[in-house]
């Protein structure tokens, strides 16, 4: 497995975060019968709940009240991270990406068979922010109040996320 961290800069519409995005390549082997189940089970075993399976919205948005983990259970998807000036990444089956609160993201295109699984740290749930005028500075205050999770959604009590976010 390869682990990549991406530092995204804020702009006038999207706050992003001082914490880096953490991308795990080939982190979880999808189950052929139910590709999403292995991701849901791993995330829940490591304390990340409120799991869902579906896709990533095809419009820019971010969550000010929670961090979010996204696992590509099947297929592939190109994702814009950080807004128009950010980074484009392609997720393939088995990949996991953890987005710190405030990280803008949107689906830029996907295979017909893709499935994404998402989840959140304990006690956190997603709001929806769109980078519209007037969302900030309230969103910035909410992002600053989101605690760093106690566990890594892939590795549990010890993992790359905790190391990357410890500073």
Q: What is the mean pLDDT of each run of 10 residues along the chain (167 residues)?
A: 94 96 95 91 97 96 98 98 96 98 98 96 96 95 97 96 92
Looking at residue 113, what DSSP letter applies? T
pTM: 0.96
* Cβ-based burial of 149 (10 A; exposed 0-12, middle 13-18, buried ≥19): buried
27: left (phi over 0), alpha (psi -120 to 50) or beta: alpha
Mind listing the domains of the chain with CATH numbers?
2-156 (2.60.120.10)
Task: Provide the pLDDT for residue 33.
Answer: 87
Task: Provide the pLDDT for residue 26.
Answer: 96
């Amino acid at each position: 497995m390869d682990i990549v961290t991406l530092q995204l800069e804020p702009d006038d519409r999207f706050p992003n975060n001082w914490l880096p995005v953490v991308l795990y390549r080939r982190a979880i082997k999808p189950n052929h019968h139910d590709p999403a189940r292995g991701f849901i089970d791993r995330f829940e075993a490591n304390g990340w709940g409120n799991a869902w399976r579906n896709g990533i919205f095809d419009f820019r948005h971010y969550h000010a009240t929670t961090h979010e983990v996204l696992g590509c259970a099947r297929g592939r998807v190109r994702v814009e991270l950080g807004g128009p000036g950010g980074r484009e990444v392609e997720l393939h089956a088995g990949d996991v990406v953890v987005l710190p609160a405030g990280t803008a993201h949107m689906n830029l295109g996907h295979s017909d068979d893709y499935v994404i699984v998402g989840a959140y740290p304990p006690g956190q749930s997603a709001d929806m922010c769109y980078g519209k005028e007037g969302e900030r500075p309230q969103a910035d205050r909410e992002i600053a109040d989101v605690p760093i999770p106690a566990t890594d959604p892939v590795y549990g009590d010890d993992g790359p996320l905790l190391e990357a976010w410890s500073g």
